[in-house]
């Protein structure tokens, strides 16, 4: 039998006013990792309407590394940036990660075995949240508890880790069926991590029958003044409630019906 080529990855990095992290070399280090990673097809840096020097620095890094590409977008928040990257990606899988590299790109090594086992989505899970202030840990635990009461996400413990890999066709299908975090209705002011986006992503993935795995990854707390933790937690809770309400109205039923019909055709 002929050898089956390894699946390729597009790395998607959302960016909003990330000049400090860019100047510290975060993107450069990700780009350098590509030298020994033949399965990474590209790095798509999705600039979410930055008002600082982020775009200029990204362009300079791309000039030195041919597989780095800037995708300039209007400001819609992290959800809109990630979706734009997913839709533009050319790899078999899309891995989105944060510019600050709180979870370093090398952790993709923990993703690859699950991809080889046939999982459609692999979610990074932060064990212990090293270095995070106690208040952030308590808020994360509270959000996780509330999320579990509102949505059934199939046992995924850490929905908010910014390190997830999705099969590209599955990712695009999921994004096309989002109801709350659709880019055409999302608007953002300032830094907006749109915490409920990850939850809706996994909720829709479960509705279409995607195979999801969770793996522990290294993560280190990186402080920022651009995102207010209490405000973003409240936005996240409102997002969860909006997803639950949309589900109660039957807005996701068509997604599940389509998935069931597809499975019947495949087994018929």
Please list, in sequence order, all residues whose beta carbon lies within 8 angstroms of the beta carbon of residue 13, skipping any fewer than 6 positions away: 27, 30, 43, 44, 45, 46, 85, 96, 97, 98, 99
Q: Which helix (H) or strand (E) holds 121?
A: strand 121-126
Helix locations, 89-128, DSSP H = 108-116
> 101 to each of 143, 151, 216, 250, how far by Cα in Å?
23, 28, 16, 38
Stated as kind and residue range, the H or E segment containing 248 is: helix 229-248
For 189-235, write each residue's pLDDT tens digit. Answer: 555 556 789 999 999 999 999 999 999 999 988 765 555 666 777 78
Specify the DSSP element, H or E, that contains 118.
none
Q: Which helix (H) or strand (E) holds 104?
A: none
The predicted pLDDT at position 224 comes to: 59
How confident is the model at residue 222, as a pLDDT?
Answer: 79
Tell me the three state secondary structure of residue 178. coil
pTM to 2 decimals?
0.87
Tokens of 27: 């993107």
pLDDT at 146: 81
**Separate counts of helices (H) and strands (E) for the chain:** 10, 7
Give the burial string for 102-114 (b: 16+ CB within 10 Å, else e): bbbbebbebbbeb
Parts of the chain with a pLDDT under 70 = 1-4, 128-140, 185-194, 223-230, 256-268
| Residue that the structure tokens 């280090």 belong to | 29
User: CATH topology for 9-267?
Assistant: Spore Coat Polysaccharide Biosynthesis Protein SpsA; Chain A (3.90.550)
Report the pLDDT value the prediction gives residue 264, as an integer from 0 to 100: 44
Distance CA 166, CA 97 (A): 12
- Residue ranges per domain, the chain? 9-267
Identify the pLDDT of residue 43. 98
Distances (CA, A) of 76 to 16, 38, 54, 185: 10, 32, 16, 9
The set of residues, in sequence order, having a beta carbon less than 8 Å from that of 265 and lying 6+ positions away, is: none
Distances (CA, A) of 155 to 116, 152, 210: 21, 7, 14
CA distance 98 to 56: 19
The pLDDT value given to residue 263? 47
DSSP 8-state symbol, 35: G
Cα distance between residue 73 and residue 80, in whole Å:
9
The pLDDT, as a whole number, for residue 268 is 47
């Amino acid at each position: 039998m002929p050898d089956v080529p390894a699946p390729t990855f597009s790395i998607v990095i959302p960016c909003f006013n990330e000049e400090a992290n860019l100047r510290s070399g975060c993107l450069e280090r990700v780009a350098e990792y590509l030298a020994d990673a033949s399965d990474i097809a590209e790095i798509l840096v999705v600039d979410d309407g930055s008002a600082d020097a982020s775009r200029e620095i990204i362009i300079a890094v791309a000039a030195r590394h041919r597989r780095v590409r800037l995708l300039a977008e209007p400001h819609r928040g992290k959800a809109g940036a990630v979706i734009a990257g997913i839709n533009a990606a050319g790899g078999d899988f899309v891995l989105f990660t944060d510019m600050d590299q709180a979870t370093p790109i090398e952790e993709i090594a923990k993703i690859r075995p699950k991809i080889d086992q046939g999982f459609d989505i692999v979610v990074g899970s932060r064990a212990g949240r090293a270095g995070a202030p106690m208040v952030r840990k308590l808020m994360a635990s509270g959000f996780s508890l509330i999320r579990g009461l509102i949505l059934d996400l199939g046992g995924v413990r850490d929905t908010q880790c910014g390190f997830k890999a999705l099969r590209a066709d599955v990712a695009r299908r999921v994004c096309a069926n989002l109801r709350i975090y659709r880019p055409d209705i999302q608007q953002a002011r300032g830094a907006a991590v749109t915490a409920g986006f990850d939850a809706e992503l996994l909720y829709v993935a479960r509705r279409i029958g995607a195979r999801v795995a969770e793996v522990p990854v290294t993560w280190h707390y990186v402080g920022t003044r651009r995102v207010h933790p209490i405000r973003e937690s409240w936005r996240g809770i409102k997002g969860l409630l909006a997803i639950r309400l949309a589900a109660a109205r039957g807005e996701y039923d068509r997604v599940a019906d389509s998935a069931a019909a597809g499975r019947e055709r495949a087994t018929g």
